[in-house]
Structure 1
Amino acid sequence: MGKLGGRVLLWLFLLVTALLIVFPVVVTFLGSFMSNIEITKGGQIFPSSWHFANYKEAWVQANFARFTWNSLFLSGTTTIGTLIVASMAAYVVDRIHFPGKAIYVAIQASTMFISIGAVVIRPQFELMVKLHMNTNLWGVVLILISGHAYIFFILLSFLKGISRELDEAARIDGCSNAGIFWRIILPLMRPGLGVGALFTFCGAWNEYLRPLVFTMTNPKLQTLTVGLSYLRYGASAAVQTHYMLAGACLSILPLLVVYMVANRSFMQMTAGSLKG
C-alpha cells in the first residue's frame, strides 16, 4: 500500500507539473484566435469566434519573413559554430594531454556559474566595435559561440563513453589526431551533437537583448524576438494583444521543428546515460 501511495503521489505531482507548464501555452494559443476586446475583458479561455486573420496581420505587421530569416541565420550559424568549437575542445581535453588542462576545464566550469546578465553587454559591444562587428549579427554570433561551456561539458561527458581503442586502431593505420576526430569521433558523437544543437539553437533563437543592441542602427537585421515588439501597438496606439499572441505562436513553430528533428538524438543520449 505504501508503494502504491508513493506511485499515486508521484503521478499527481507529474500531472500538476505538466498542467502548470502546458496551461500558459494553451491559453496563448487560444488567445491568438480571439479579438482584442475579448482578451482585454478576460474571463474566458475559448474564443467566441475564431479570428484566423490574426496570424495574417501579425505576419505582415511584424515583417515576419525578414525577421524569421534573420533569426534562422543567427540561430543556425551560432549552432554550427558552437558545435564545431565545443566538440573540438571536448576532444582535445579528453584525448590529448597538455599543460594547463585542469585550469582550462576550471575556467570553462566557472563561466557556467557566473551569470551577470546585461552587465557584460557594454564590454562585449565595445569589443565588437574594435572588431568592426557592432552593426551586424556576426558580432552576436561570435559572442554566443564564445559562451559554449554548457555544450562543451555535454559533449565531453558523451566523448568519455567512446572507446579509446578506436583511436589506437586509427593511429596504427596512420591517422592523425585531426583525422581521428573528423572521421571517427565526430560521427559517433551524433546523439551528443543533436542534444547540443537543440539547446544552442533554442538559446540563440530566444536571444533578445544582444540582437536589439547590435541592430539598433540597422533595423532590417533585427531578429524575430525583437520584431515581435512591433506588434504591441497599432496605428492608433492601441495595444494589440491578439496580434502579439499570434506572433508568439508563429515564433514557436521553428523551435518545435528543431525539437522534433533533435528529439531522437536526445532520447538516444538519455537512454545511453541511464544504461551506463
Structure 2
Amino acid sequence: MLRKAIARIFLWVFLLVVAFFTLFPVLMAVLGSFKTNIELTAGATLFPKQWQFSNYLEAWRGANFSLYTWNSLFVSGTATIGALLVATMAGYVVDRRDFAGKRLFVFLQASTMFISIGAVVLRPQFELMVKLHLNTSLWGVILILISAHASTFFILIGFFKGIPREIDESAMLDGCSFMGIYWRIVLPLLKPGLGVAALFAFRAAWNEYILPLVFTMNNTKLQTLTVGLANLRYGSGAAMQTHLMMAGACLSILPILIVYIFANKSFMHVTAGSIKG
C-alpha cells in the first residue's frame, strides 16, 4: 500500500509539472496580449499594470482578421475534407482488398511523411501548380495539403482494422456494392477516427505558413491568418509590435479550440474503447 501511495504521489507530481510547463507559455501569451509593448518588452511583471483590451481591436484591424480568418477557414476546412476523403478511400481499399503493389503503396505513403521537408519539395510543388495554373489561388495550397495526407491515412488505417469484415460480408449478401459498404456502413462506424483525424488535419492546415506565404505573395487578399499575423511584427516606426502579435495569436487559437470541442467526443470514444479493450 505504501509503495502504491508513493507511486501515485510521484505520478501526480509528474503530471502537475508537465501541465505547468505546457500551460505556462500559453498563460504568458494571454497575459502579454493585454500589456503595452514597452511593458511586455521590459518583462518586469507577470500581470499587466493596465489591461490593454484595445490590443485585440488593433490586431483585428491591423491584420485584417475578418478576411484572413475566412481564407484560413476555407483552406483548412477544404483541405481537411479532401484529406479525409482521400485517406478514407485509400485506407478502405488497402484494408479490404489485396492488389498488386499494395506494400509499395503503403511504403510510399510512409515515405512521404519523412521526405516532405519544406524547401526541398517547395520548388517542384510550385512549378507543378504553375503548370496547372493554380499558383495564384488558394486551390494550389489546398491540393498540396490534401496530397500530404499520409498521417491521416495511418491514423485511419488502425480504425479500419477495428471494423469486422463480417459486416462487409453480410452487406454484400444483402446486395450492397463495395462502394456502398464504404459509404453507408464503414464511414458511419468510422466517426470516432474521422473526428481524431480531422482535428490533426485541420490543425496542420491552419498552422501552415510557408505554402500560403509563397502562393499569396503577390495577392495579399488571399493571405491566410498565419501570414497576416506576421505582418503585425513591425509598426509604422519599424518597432516590434510584440503585444499585437500576441493578441493576434490568441485570436487565432480560438478556431482550433472550437474544432477541439467538437472533436473531443471522438477522443473520448477512442479512449473508452482502448480501456474497454
Fold shared, TM-score > 0.5 on shorter chain: yes
> TM-score of the superposition, structure 1-length normalised?
0.97
Structure 1 residue 112: Cα displacement? 2.3
Deviation at 1:7, TM superposition (A): 1.8
Partner of 1:117 in structure 2?
A: 118
Aligned to 2:105: 104
Q: How big is the shift at 1:118?
A: 2.1
Match of 2:163 in 1: 162
Cα distance in 2, alignment partners of residues 166 and 129 from structure 1:
45
| Distance in 2 (alpha carbons) for counterparts of 1:116 and 1:36 | 35
SS in 2 for 1:50: coil
**Distance change >3 Å, CA 274–CA 106, structure 1 → 2:** farther
- Aligned AA for 1:188? L
**Deviation per residue, 1:90-138 (Å, 9 max, x gap):** 1001111211111111211222233522221111111111111111111
Q: Equivalents in 1 of 2:24, 2:143: separation in Å? A: 36
Give the aligned partner of residue 274 of structure 1. Answer: 275
Mapping for residues 243-254 of structure 1, pairs under 5 Å:
243-254=244-255
Is 18-27 or 237-246 further displaced after alignment? Answer: 237-246
Cα drift, residue 206 of structure 1: 0.2
- Structure 2 distance, partners of 1:258, 1:192, is 15
> Which position in structure 1 is the counterpart of 2:238?
237
C-alpha distance after superposition, 1:11-46 (max 9, x if no partner): 111111111110000000011111111111111110
Q: Which amino acid aligns with 1:70?
A: N
Cα distance in 2, alignment partners of residues 43 and 3 from structure 1: 43
- Give 2:85's aligned residue: 84
Gaps of 5+ in 1: none
Task: Report the Cα distance in structure 2 between the residues aligned to 1:180 and 1:220, rounded to whole angstroms.
Answer: 42
Distance 1:2 1:115, change over 3 A: farther
What secondary structure does 1:231 align onto? coil
Question: Is 2:134 the counterpart of 1:130?
Answer: no
Structure 2 CA distance for aligned equivalents of residues 220 and 137 of structure 1: 11
The 5 A counterparts of 1:80-229 are 80-229=81-230
CA distance in 2 between partners of 1:236 and 1:103 (Å):
56
Tell me the CA shift for residue 5 of structure 1: 2.0
Kindly, what percent of the aligned residue pairs are identical? 67
SS of aligned partner of 1:259: helix
Aligned structure 1 segments of 4 or more residues deviating by more than 3 angstroms: none
State the one-letter code of the partner of 1:76: G
Q: TM-score, normalised by structure 2?
A: 0.97
Structure 1 partner of 2:49: 48
The CA distance in 1 between the partners of 2:275 and 2:149, in whole Å, is 25
Q: What's 1:8 paired with? A: 9
Q: Distance in 2 between matches of 1:189 and 1:11?
A: 34
Matched residues, number: 276
Cα distance in 2 for residues equivalent to 1:212 and 1:21: 29
Which consecutive unaligned segments of at least 5 residues does structure 2 have? Answer: none
Distance 2:87 2:55 in 1: 41
